């Protein structure tokens, strides 16, 4: 009679194990900054994941894979923008089984991604904690058919309030939270001469902390409606311009890839450079 473990393919520990060799280990991590522009701002995060993983296959990127019965490429996404908003500053990290030049990899991926989903920067990860460095976002909100004076009045009322409670429907039902606490900075920009269309709209620039629950640009718009009855007649056009570490004093957001870029510049990246650095008289 066959042993029960032999029939079910169980391991001696009583758990099924995947057949074949384990996946190759990752030898390099690369962090990418990408955009969502034009009509692609309506792409959901899941749709982007599918498009990006398809681009990885087309570009023949040597991806590291997870272990188990359903291996998947090791891609870490960080704080994706809501569907319907544009972005100039989305981030992700990939793990490779063979080292690749980040700039060449960026170009190959862009050849396989649809226009609007563009990888604009690639850097080898030499530090940890990318997600921890995404503390706040800079957003630009275009309010067509809203006078600048009305926007300035609403922004001032919002900033003067101690709390601004707004409601949002979530998968767990209607939720009320304070939108004011997350806003580190809010200003109304003057019309720009190089963009004639700005004359008929108000442009808001805001810096929003990444809190829990997350406060989104549409929550701030709800707050402006609640505090100053600002109700744009057409949907706002929202774009994330940056995200990273927040300087509380100035209300500015710094580049989250800067530590990796600095580490790459400070350390040898190839075997030849490493040998030269270790040779007598070489730089450390």
What are 21-39's pLDDT values in tens digits?
788 999 999 999 999 999 9
For residue 90, what are the β-bridge partners? Answer: 34
C-alpha distance from residue 256 to each of 132, 134, 142, 262 (Å): 9, 7, 25, 11
pLDDT tens string 202-254:
999 999 999 988 999 999 999 999 999 999 999 999 999 999 999 998 889 99
Q: What CA–CA distances, in Å, run from 62 to 29, 48, 56, 173, 260? A: 11, 20, 8, 43, 21
Q: Is residue 155 part of a domain?
A: yes
Residue 42 sits in which domain range? 28-132
What 3-state class would DSSP assign to 215? coil
- Indicate which CATH number applies to the domain containing 227: 3.30.70
Evaluate the CA torsion angle 36, 39, 45, 48 in order and state its sign.
negative
95: CATH: 3.30.70.580
Of 201, 206, 165, the C-alpha closest to 185 is 206
pLDDT, tens digit (0-9, with 9 covering 90-100), for 265-275: 887 555 445 44
In a domain, 104, yes or no: yes
Looking at per-residue pLDDT, the higher value among 129 and 17 belongs to 129
pLDDT category of residue 41 using cuts at 50, 70 and 90: very high
pTM reported for the whole predicted model: 0.84
Residues 114 and 190 in one domain: no
* 51 — pLDDT class (breaks 50, 70, 90): very high
């Amino acid at each position: 009679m066959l042993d029960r473990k032999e029939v079910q393919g169980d391991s001696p520990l009583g758990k099924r194990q995947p057949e074949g060799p384990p996946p190759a280990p990752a030898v390099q991590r690369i962090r990418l900054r990408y955009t969502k522009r034009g009509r692609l701002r309506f792409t959901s995060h899941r749709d982007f994941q599918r498009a990006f993983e398809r681009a990885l296959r087309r570009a023949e990127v040597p991806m590291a894979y997870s272990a188990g019965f359903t291996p998947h490429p090791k891609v870490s996404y960080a704080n994706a923008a809501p569907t319907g908003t544009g972005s100039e500053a989305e981030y992700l990290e990939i793990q490779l089984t063979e080292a690749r030049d980040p700039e060449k990899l960026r170009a190959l991926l862009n050849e396989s991604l649809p226009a609007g989903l563009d990888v604009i920067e690639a850097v080898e990860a030499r530090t940890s904690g990318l997600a921890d460095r995404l503390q706040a976002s800079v957003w630009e909100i275009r309010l067509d058919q809203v006078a600048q004076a009305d926007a300035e009045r609403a922004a001032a009322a919002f900033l003067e309030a101690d709390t601004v409670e707004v409601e949002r429907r979530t998968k767990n039902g209607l939720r009320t939270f304070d939108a004011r606490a997350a806003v580190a900075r809010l200003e109304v920009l003057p019309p720009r001469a190089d963009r004639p269309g700005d004359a008929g709209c108000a442009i808001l620039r805001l810096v929003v902390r990444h809190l829990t629950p997350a406060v989104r640009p549409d929550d701030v718009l709800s707050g402006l409606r609640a505090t100053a009855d600002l109700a744009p007649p057409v949907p706002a056009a929202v774009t994330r311009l940056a995200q990273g570490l927040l300087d509380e004093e100035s209300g500015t957001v710094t580049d989250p890839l800067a530590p990796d870029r600095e580490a790459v510049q400070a350390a040898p990246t190839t075997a030849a450079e490493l040998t030269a650095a270790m040779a007598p008289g070489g730089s450390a």
